[in-house]
Amino acid sequence: MKLNLGCGNMPLHDWKNIDKYYYPGTAEMHPEHGTPEDYDWEQGDFTDLSKFEDNSVDRVNICHALEHVSIEDARKTLGEIYRVLKTGGDVEIEVPDLEKIFFAFSVGVFSYEEMLDLVYGGRDSNVYWGGHFCGFTPNILRDQMEQFGFKNITIEAVGFGTSKGEPDRNFRLRGIK
């Protein structure tokens, strides 16, 4: 089984897609993704994976979702992912890169408003899924993953699954249980 956690309205084929706010009947899909019926897609909170047994999942993808919860819930999520992954299973996590964002802002690549959007999430008051409640650099996330037992943590190319592929502001880590 493969879990795509916090998928938004862009689920992946052949994955169990879970999102708290976007799921069939609640959100418009991107037209290139087909219809909700084309996917195994359900409502759920990725910080609580209690419905999944220990060592029952082969792969986990969590793309631009972990930063939308508190650091405490992010740590809880890492622990839950580790628990449900089979030995040898992998997780890939993609989030904004605070180091890259602040550096780019400091040298004038991003305006102040762009930097705020990237660090804190959308500033639109109509965004009901909330902004960013925690943030990471590759070293910080690697340290958090190692605390839960993930090994062989590597930086991967951004852009898999629901990612836009913006390496100037994001990073993706892969870890093995």
| Averaged pLDDT of the chain | 89
pLDDT band at 151 (very low <50, low <70, confident <90, very high): very high
Q: Does 11 score more than 60 pLDDT?
A: yes
- Residue linked to tokens 């994955």: 15
Full-model pTM: 0.91
Q: Does 127 score more than 90 pLDDT?
A: no
Q: Are 146 and 130 in contact (CB under 8 A)?
A: no
Q: Does 126 score more than 90 pLDDT?
A: no
**Residue 53, pLDDT score:** 98
**Residue 171, pLDDT score:** 95
Q: Does 128 score more than 70 pLDDT?
A: no
Strands 40-43 and 16-19: what pairing?
A: parallel
**Residue 46, pLDDT score:** 95
Q: Does 139 score more than 90 pLDDT?
A: yes
Identify the CATH assignment for 2-97+133-176 out of 2.40.50.140, 3.30.460.10, 3.30.460.80, 3.40.50.150: 3.40.50.150
Please provide residue 3's backbone torsions phi and psi, each rounded to the nearest 5 degrees: -110, 130
- H or E element that contains 60: strand 57-63
Q: Residue 66's Cα: distance from chain center in Å?
A: 5
Q: How far apart are CA 16 and CA 174, in angstroms?
A: 19
% the chain with pLDDT above 70: 85
76 versus 21: the higher-pLDDT residue is 76
Tens digits of per-residue pLDDT, 12-66?
Answer: 889 999 998 876 666 666 666 677 778 898 889 999 999 999 999 999 999 999 9
Residue type, 79: G
Nearest CA to 90 out of 13, 14, 156 is that of: 156
Domain boundaries, the chain: 2-97+133-176
**Residue 8, pLDDT score:** 82
Q: How far apart are CA 46 and CA 6, in angstroms?
A: 6
Please provide residue 137's backbone torsions phi and psi, each rounded to the nearest 5 degrees: -115, 165
**Residue 161, pLDDT score:** 60
Sign of the torsion angle spanned by Cα atoms 47, 26, 90, 59: positive
Q: How far apart are CA 101 and CA 106, in angstroms?
A: 9
Which tokens sit at 82?
């580790």
Sign of the torsion angle spanned by Cα atoms 129, 132, 134, 136: positive
